[in-house]
Structure 1
Amino acid sequence: MPQSHEAAGSGSRTTAGREPSRGALIGVGALLVVLTNAVIYIFPPLLPAIQAQYGLATVAETTWFFTVLTLGGGAGFILLPRLADLYGDRRANVAAAAFLTVGALVPALGDSYPALLVGCSLMGFGGAAQVLPLGFLRRGLGEGGITKAVAILVIGTGVGIVAGMIGGGLIVQSLSLRSFFVILTAIGAMTTLASSLLIPSAPPALRTGRIGVLGTVWMIAWVGAILLTLTQGLVWGNAALIPLVLGVVGGIAWIRVERRSTTAVFDVALMKAPLVTASCICITLFAAVNAAFLLLVSTYAQIVPEALSPVDSYGLGLSAIGTGWLMLPFAVTFVVGAAIADRPVNNGRVVPVFVAGAVISAAGLGWLALAHDRPWHYLVGAAAIGLGCSIGYAAGFTLVQLAVPEERAGMATGVAGTFLAVGFAFGSALVSADLSIALVPVLGTSLEVAAEGLYGVGYWLSAVLALAVVLTVGVSSTRARRRTARTAA
C-alpha cells in the first residue's frame, strides 16, 4: 500500500504569508465540484429535448455533444491539473471556471446545434475543474487533507447530480434550453470570481519544472483519437478503426518517449506503485457504468408509450425533471460512499472496498435488467448503483493520491481524471451502440428510438463492466503477491 505524503510540501498552506481560510477553501472546492458535475449530469435527461429542438433524427446523431464534451474533458484532465502543480492552483482553477463560463455563453448566444457543440467542447475542457479541488484542498487543509478532499469530491458529485438532473430539468421545463445556458453562464462567472478571490496560489517552492509542450499535445492527440472512436465508432463504422489505430500506436510510442523525457507530462513510474494501475482501470470501469446507467435511464424514462405503435409501445413518458427525480436515490447514496471507503482504504484494505463497490453496482444493474418498466424499479436500482460507484470512485482517487507527494497532487489527479474521461466515453459509446441495433419509429415524426428489449441488454452489459472491477483487482493482487514472494526469496 503506498504511504501518504501528507507532510510533503507543508509550506504550501500559506500564500504570501497568510493562512488561507479552511472554510473558504472547502466552499469554493465544493462549488467547483457541484457546478462541473451539474453540467455533466444535466445533459442525459435533456437528450430528448435537444434532439427535438434541433431536429436531430437519431440518438447516435444527438450524442455528438457527448463526444465533444468528452474530447474537451480529455484535454482538460491532462493539462489543467499539471498547470496547477507548476503555475499555482488559483490560475488553473480560474482558467477552468472561465472555460465553463464561455462554453455556456456560446449556445446561449448562438441557440443552434453547432453552437451547442462548440460550447460543449469548451465546457468539457473546463469540466476538469471537478477534480482540481483534490489538489488545492490537499495542499490547504493540512493533516488528513487527502481524506477531506476525496470526501468533498464525492459528496459534491452527489449534490451536482441533483442540481443537474432536477434543477436543469426545472429550468428547461419552466423557461427554455437557451434560458438554461444564460443562467449557467451567470453561475460560471460567479464561480470564476470566487476562484480568483478564494483559492491560494502555490508558493514558489512548488513551481519547479515546466510543461513539456510536445508530450502534452501528443498525449491529448492520442487520448482524443481513442475517445473519438469510443463515442462515434458506431456512426463511422469501419472508418473508426483509423483513429483507434492512430490512438493506440500513438499512445505506445508516447509512453516509450515519456520514460526518457526530463519534462514528462505524467510520471510513468507512478503507475508501477502497488495497485495504482489497477485503481485507474477501476476508475475507468466505474465511470463507464455511471455513463451507461445515465444514458439508459434518460432515454427509457422520457419515451412516451402513446407515441409508438401498440406493438412497440414502452417508456414512462416522464419529463426531464421527472427523470431527475428518478435519480435522487443515486445522488443520496453517492454521498455515503466516501464515508464507507475512507477508513478501510487508508488502512490498506483497498481490494475489499473495490470488490464491495463493484458487487453493489452489479446488483443494482442486474435488478434493472430484469425490472425497468416502473418508476419504483429505478428508485431501487439507482440507490444501489450510486452507492457502488461512489465507493469505487472514493477508493480509486484516494489510492492514487496516496502514491505521490503533495507537490505532485495535480499530476496524480490528471492521471485519474484521464482514466475517468475514457471510462465515461466508453460507457456512453457502449450504450449508444446497443440502443442503435434495432430502431422503431416515433409516430407522426421522422424520429426513431431503440427497441425495448435493448435496454435489458444494456443493463446486463453494464453489470459485466462492474464485475470486471473484481477481476482487475484480483489479477493485480495476485501479481503483487508473486512479486513480494520473489523478492523475499
Structure 2
Amino acid sequence: MTEHSELSGLAGELRAAKVPRRGALIGVGALLVILTNAIMFILPPLLPVIQAQYGLTTVSATMWIFTLLTLGGGAGYILLPRLADVSGDRNASVFASGCLTVGALIPAVGDSYPALLIGSAIMGFGTAAQLLPLGFLRRNLAGEGIVTAVRVLVIATGVGIVVGMIGGGVIVENLSLRTFFCILAAAFAATTIVSFVVIPHSPPAESVGRIGVLGTVWMIAWVAAVLLTLTQGLVWGNAAVIPLIAGVVGGVLWVRVERRSSVAVFDVAMLKSPLVTAASLSVALFGAVNAAFLLLLSTYSQVIPAYLPSKDAYGLGRTALQTGWLMVPFAVMFVVGGKVVDRLVAKGRGASVLVMGALLTAAGLGWLALAHDRPWHYLVGAGVIGLGCSMGYAAGFSIAQMAVSEEKAGMAAGVVGTAMAIGIAFGSALITGVLSASVVPVPGTDIEVAAESLYGTGYWISVGLAMLIVVAVLISRVRNGRRVPAAAS
C-alpha cells in the first residue's frame, strides 16, 4: 500500500513538472494575440506607402493586399483552432507562427508586389493564431481556465490594435517596407521558437475525432466567397453578385450536409446551446462596428483641410502616427472591460453583458455621429467604444467556450472567430461603400475624399448595427427562456 502511494505521488510530481509555468503560458498567449492583431491594423497606414513604392496605379490593386490578408484569415479561423483540438496545442501554435514567419519573409526577400500578395495571404492565415490561446490556456490552467483565456484574448486584442496603428505610423515615418518585413519575420521566428518551448503538447482526446477534409475545404470555400464579395464588391460592381450567391448557396448546402456528417467541422449541438448562435452573431456585429469605427476615424483624421476647397474643407490633418495615438483610450478601456465582466460571464450573465456592451458601443458611436471634428471627441468616443466592444467580445467568446468541453475548445473558438472575421469584412465594406457615395476632389491631384456629411451617416449606421445585437440577444432569450449556464470552476 505504501509502495503504491509512493508511486502515485511520483506520478503526480512528474505530471506537475510537465505543466508550464502559468506566467510563461499566459505571456505566450498574449504575445500571439498582440502580434496577430497588430498585423491586421498595421496595414491601413502602410497602404499609401505600398502604392507609391511598387508603382501601383489603382487603389483596387493596393486593396488586394488587404483582401488576401482577409481571405487567408478566414481560412485560418476555420482550420487552426480545430487543428489544435485534433493535433495538439503546440503543433497548431508552431505551425501558425511558422506561417506568419514565412509570410513576412517572402516580401522581405522578394521586395515586389507579387511577393507581397503571396506573403499577405500566408500571414493572413497565420493571424488566426490569436484564437489558439483560448484552447491552450483553458486546457493547461486549472480552475478558471476559461476566464483567464478570454481575458488574455480581449485585453491583448486591444493592445494589439493600438500597437498596430501606432506601429504603422512609425514605419511610415522612419522605416522602409523591406526593413519592416525583415523585423517582422525575425519577431515571428522568435515567437515560433517560444511557442515550441513553452506550450505543452496536448494529445487529443479520443472524443475529439478528426478533421473532416471535405467539410473543412467546403467551408473555407464558401466563407472565402462571402469575404471576397465584401472586400471587392465596390470594385467589381454587379459582378460581385456571383461570388456572393455562390457563397450563400454553398453555406446553406454545407449546413445541411454537416448536420448528417460523422466528421462535422463544427458541432451542430453546440450551436443549439442557449445563446451560442446569438453570441456568434453578436461577435460578428461587434467586429463590424469595430472595423467601421476604425475606418471612419482613420480616414477623417488624416484628411488635410487646407488641401480642400473652403466650402468642403474638413479633417484633422493628422499623420498616421498621430491617428494611432487617438486610439489609446480604446486600448485602455479594452483592458478595463475585459477585467470587469469576466466574473459576470462566468456566472451565467453573458446575455446581460452582451446587451450592456452593445448599448455602450452605440452610445460611443452616437457621440461621434454628433461630434467628430476635434481630437478630444475621438478620445472620448474611442474610450466608450473600446469598453463596449471588449465587453461584447469577452461575453461572446466565453458563451461559446462554456457550451463545450475543453477537448473542443478550439472548435468553439473557431465558430466565433469565423463570425468575427466575416463581421470585420462586412463592416469595412459597408463603411467603404458609404464613404464612396459622394466624393470631393482634392484640387491639383487625382485624389478624391468622402464628403464630410457621410461620416455622420456612417456613425449612425454603426449605431444601428450595435442595436441589432440587443435585438438578437433578446430574441434568443425569449426563445430559450433561460440564462447561459455558468462556467465550471
Q: TM-score normalised to the size of structure 1? A: 0.92
Q: In the aligned structure 2, how far is the partner of 1:189 from the partner of 1:355?
A: 40
CA contact (8 A) 2:74 2:125 kept: yes
Q: In the aligned structure 1, how far is the partner of 2:86 from the partner of 2:152?
A: 23
1:192 match: 192
2:88 match: 88
Q: In the aligned structure 1, how far is the partner of 2:44 from the partner of 2:77?
A: 21
1:410 aligns with 2:410: yes
The equivalences for 1:20-99 within 5 A come to: 20-54=20-54, 62-99=62-99
Secondary structure at 2:449 match in 1: strand
Aligned-residue CA RMSD (Å): 2.2
2:178 match: 178
2:431 match: 431
Residue 325 of structure 1, CA deviation: 0.3
Q: In the aligned structure 2, how far is the partner of 1:153 from the partner of 1:66?
A: 23
Residue 60 of structure 1, CA deviation: 5.4
**Structure 1 residues 403-438: Cα deviation after superposition (integer angstroms, max 9, x where no partner):** 000100011011111001000100110011111112
Distance change (3 Å), C-alpha of 1:56 and 1:395: same
Q: In the aligned structure 2, how far is the partner of 1:58 from the partner of 1:303?
A: 19
Could you tell me which amino acid in structure 1 is paired with residue 92 of structure 2? A
**Structure 1 residues 178-222: Cα deviation after superposition (integer angstroms, max 9, x where no partner):** 322221111111111111111111125458522111111000001
2:114 match: 114
Count of equivalent residues: 473
1:163 match: 163
CA contact (8 A) 1:312 1:451 kept: yes
Residue 465 of structure 1, CA deviation: 0.7
CA contact (8 A) 2:67 2:231 kept: yes
1:154 match: 154
2:295 match: 295
Deviates more, 1:104-113 or 1:263-272: 104-113
1:399 match: 399
Q: Which runs of 5+ in 2 are unaligned?
A: 1-10, 485-489
Residue 335 of structure 1, CA deviation: 0.7
**Structure 1 residues 349-382: Cα deviation after superposition (integer angstroms, max 9, x where no partner):** 2222111101111111111111111111110110
Distance change (3 Å), C-alpha of 1:222 and 1:452: same
Could you tell me which amino acid in structure 1 is paired with residue 242 of structure 2? I
The equivalences for 1:267-278 within 5 A come to: 267-278=267-278
2:377 match: 377
Q: In the aligned structure 2, how far is the partner of 1:366 from the partner of 1:142?
A: 42
2:283 match: 283
Q: In the aligned structure 1, how far is the partner of 2:329 from the partner of 2:59?
A: 26
CA contact (8 A) 2:208 2:408 kept: no
2:266 match: 266
Q: In the aligned structure 2, how far is the partner of 1:198 from the partner of 1:93?
A: 11
The equivalences for 1:223-234 within 5 A come to: 223-234=223-234
Distance change (3 Å), C-alpha of 1:204 and 1:241: closer
**Structure 1 residues 150-203: Cα deviation after superposition (integer angstroms, max 9, x where no partner):** 011111112212321113321331122332222111111111111111111112
Secondary structure at 1:131 match in 2: helix
Residue 112 of structure 1, CA deviation: 3.7
CA contact (8 A) 2:274 2:482 kept: no
Distance change (3 Å), C-alpha of 1:363 and 1:61: farther
Identity of aligned residues (%): 66
Secondary structure at 2:396 match in 1: helix
Residue 115 of structure 1, CA deviation: 3.0
Residue 56 of structure 1, CA deviation: 5.1
Residue 281 of structure 1, CA deviation: 0.2
Deviates more, 1:192-201 or 1:173-182: 173-182
CA contact (8 A) 1:57 1:447 kept: no
Could you tell me which amino acid in structure 1 is paired with residue 184 of structure 2? L
1:257 match: 257
1:246 aligns with 2:246: yes
CA contact (8 A) 2:222 2:248 kept: yes
CA contact (8 A) 2:330 2:385 kept: yes
CA contact (8 A) 2:131 2:417 kept: yes
Distance change (3 Å), C-alpha of 1:143 and 1:97: same
Distance change (3 Å), C-alpha of 1:380 and 1:179: same
1:478 match: 478
Deviates more, 1:19-28 or 1:400-409: 19-28
Secondary structure at 1:63 match in 2: helix
Q: In the aligned structure 1, how far is the partner of 2:41 from the partner of 2:183?
A: 16
CA contact (8 A) 2:337 2:388 kept: yes
Q: Which runs of 5+ in 1 are unaligned?
A: 1-10, 485-489
Could you tell me which amino acid in structure 1 is paired with residue 250 of structure 2? G
Q: In the aligned structure 1, how far is the partner of 2:87 from the partner of 2:120?
A: 26
Q: In the aligned structure 2, how far is the partner of 1:58 from the partner of 1:459?
A: 27
Residue 482 of structure 1, CA deviation: 9.5
Residue 116 of structure 1, CA deviation: 2.7
Q: In the aligned structure 2, how far is the partner of 1:60 from the partner of 1:202?
A: 44
Residue 117 of structure 1, CA deviation: 2.5
**Structure 1 residues 78-119: Cα deviation after superposition (integer angstroms, max 9, x where no partner):** 000111001111111111111111212222233344333222
Distance change (3 Å), C-alpha of 1:475 and 1:55: farther
2:487 match: none
Q: In the aligned structure 2, how far is the partner of 1:364 from the partner of 1:136?
A: 34
**Structure 1 residues 220-255: Cα deviation after superposition (integer angstroms, max 9, x where no partner):** 001111111111112211111111111111111111
Q: In the aligned structure 1, how far is the partner of 2:204 from the partner of 2:428?
A: 41
Could you tell me which amino acid in structure 2 is paired with residue 382 of structure 1? A
Could you tell me which amino acid in structure 2 is paired with residue 137 of structure 1? L
1:463 match: 463
Q: In the aligned structure 2, how far is the partner of 1:204 from the partner of 1:416?
A: 21
